[in-house]
C-alpha cells in the first residue's frame, strides 16, 4: 500500500470519525425532537446517510465493473470490490436502523414497504457479488463474474424500485429532495448534512483501506505466496 494511499485513507477516516462523533452529539443533544414521531425520529440522521452511501457505493461498483470489463485494469476491479464491501456495511446499517424505527413508528419490525424491500434486495445483490467472486478457482474469472453481477444488479435496481413502488408504498415520503424544496427544520437539515458528510468520508476511508488491502493481496498472489493465506481469493473475509 503506497504511502499516499495510506495517508489519505487515514485522514479521511479521522475526519469521518470526527464527523460521526459530532453527528451523534447533534442527534442526541442538539437537534429538536420531531413533533409527530417523537424521539425515535432521531435515528433518521443515521439511517438516511447510510442509505445514501449504500446506493452511491453500488453506483461506484457498477461504473468500476463496466470499466474493468472494458479495460481489464486490475485497479478498477480493486475499486469495485472495495466499494462493494463498504456498500454492504452501510446497507446493513440501513437494514438494522430501519426496523428499529419501524417498530416504534409503524408498530412492526418489518413490512413489505418498497424502500425496505429495495434495500434488502440490494443487500442480496451484494451478497451474490461476493459469493460469485470467491467461488471460482481462477481469481480472474471471479473478478469478471462479479463485474457482471455488479452491472446487471445496477441496471435492475431502478426496475426493482419501480416495481416494488407499484406493489405498495408506506415509507415516509422524501423530505429533502422534492420539488417544493426541503420541509425539514433548518437544525434538522444541518444534522442530516453532517451525517451525509461524515458517512461519505468514512466510506471513502474504508474504500481506500480496502483498496490497499486488495492491492497487497494481489501482490502476494503474484509473488507466489502459498494459498494458505486466509481469504486470499477475496470476498467476504
Partner 1 sequence: MEYLRMLGAVVWKDLVVELRTRERFAAMAGFTVLVGILFNYAVDPTVVDPQGIAAGMVWLTVVFGGMLGLGRTFHLEEDEGAFQGVLLSPIPRDALYLGKVVANFVLLVLVTALVFAVFGLFFGLSFGRAPGTLAAVVALGTLGFVAVGTLFSAVSARTTMGETLLPILVFPLLVPVVIYGVTATKSLLAGIPAAEVEGNLRMLAAFALAALAAGAILFRHVVEE
Chain positions 178 to 237 lying near partner 1, rule: CB under 8 A, are: none
For position 153 contacting partner 1 by CB under 8 A, the verdict is yes
40, 46, 30, 53: which is closest to 186 by C-alpha? 30
In the bound state with partner 1, the residue whose beta carbon lies nearer, of 6 and 72, is 72
3-state secondary structure string across 168-203:
CCCCCCCCCCCCCCCCCCHHHHHHHHHHHHHHHHHH
Identify the residue among 15, 37, 63, 131 touching partner 1 (CB under 8 A).
Answer: 131
In the bound state with partner 1, the residue whose beta carbon lies nearer, of 37 and 160, is 160
Chain positions 133 to 152 lying near partner 1, rule: CB under 8 A, are: 135-137, 141-142, 144-145, 147-149, 151-152
Q: Are 83 and 64 within 8 A, CB to CB?
A: yes
Identify the residue among 22, 27, 56, 160 touching partner 1 (CB under 8 A).
Answer: 160
Start-to-end C-alpha separation, the chain: 19
Report in angstroms how near the CB of residue 54 gets to partner 1 at its nearest: 15
Report in angstroms how near the CB of residue 171 gets to partner 1 at its nearest: 17
H-helix or E-strand spanning residue 111: none
**Which triple of cell numbers denotes residue 128?**
451474490
CA 167 to chain CA centroid, nearest Å: 25
In the bound state with partner 1, the residue whose beta carbon lies nearer, of 142 and 195, is 142
Report in angstroms how near the CB of residue 132 gets to partner 1 at its nearest: 6
Q: Are 106 and 170 within 8 A, CB to CB?
A: yes
Q: Which SS3 state, helix, strand or coil, does residue 112 take?
A: coil
Report in angstroms how near the CB of residue 150 gets to partner 1 at its nearest: 11
For position 46 contacting partner 1 by CB under 8 A, the verdict is no
Alpha carbon separation from 74 to 59, 80, 147, 224 (Å, rounded): 18, 10, 12, 18
Identify the residue among 40, 127, 175, 190 touching partner 1 (CB under 8 A).
Answer: 127
For position 56 contacting partner 1 by CB under 8 A, the verdict is no
Report in angstroms how near the CB of residue 34 gets to partner 1 at its nearest: 32
In the bound state with partner 1, the residue whose beta carbon lies nearer, of 88 and 147, is 147
2, 4, 30: which is closest to 195 by C-alpha? 30
Triad 144, 130, 126: Cα angle to 5°: 105
Residues in contact with partner 1 by CB under 8 A are 69, 117, 121, 124-125, 127-128, 131-132, 135-137, 141-142, 144-145, 147-149, 151-153, 155-156, 159-160, 162-164, 166-167
Amino acid at each position: 500500500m503506497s504511502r499516499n494511499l495510506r495517508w489519505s485513507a487515514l485522514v479521511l477516516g479521522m475526519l469521518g470519525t470526527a464527523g460521526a462523533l459530532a453527528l451523534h452529539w447533534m442527534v442526541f443533544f442538539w437537534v429538536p425532537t420531531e413533533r409527530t414521531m417523537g424521539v425515535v425520529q432521531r435515528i433518521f440522521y443515521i439511517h438516511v446517510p447510510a442509505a445514501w452511501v449504500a446506493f452511491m457505493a453500488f453506483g461506484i461498483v457498477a461504473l468500476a465493473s463496466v470499466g474493468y470489463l472494458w479495460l481489464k485494469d486490475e485497479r478498477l476491479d480493486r475499486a469495485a470490490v472495495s466499494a462493494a464491501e463498504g456498500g454492504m456495511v452501510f446497507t446493513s446499517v440501513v437494514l438494522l436502523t430501519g426496523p428499529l424505527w419501524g417498530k416504534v413508528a409503524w408498530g412492526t419490525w418489518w413490512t413489505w414497504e418498497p424502500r425496505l424491500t429495495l434495500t434488502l434486495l440490494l443487500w442480496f445483490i451484494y451478497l451474490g457479488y461476493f459469493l460469485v467472486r470467491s467461488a471460482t478457482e481462477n481469481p480472474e474469472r471471479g473478478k469478471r463474474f462479479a463485474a457482471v453481477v455488479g452491472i446487471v444488479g445496477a441496471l435492475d435496481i431502478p426496475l426493482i424500485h419501480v416495481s416494488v413502488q407499484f406493489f405498495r408504498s408506506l415509507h415516509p415520503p422524501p423530505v429533502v429532495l422534492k420539488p417544493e424544496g426541503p420541509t425539514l427544520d433548518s437544525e434538522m437539515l444541518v444534522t442530516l448534512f453532517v451525517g451525509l458528510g461524515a458517512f461519505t468520508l468514512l466510506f471513502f476511508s474504508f474504500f481506500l483501506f480496502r483498496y490497499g488491502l486488495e492491492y497487497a493481496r494481489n501482490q502476494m498472489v503474484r509473488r507466489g505466496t502459498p494459498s494458505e493465506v486466509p481469504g486470499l481469493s477475496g470476498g467476504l473475509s
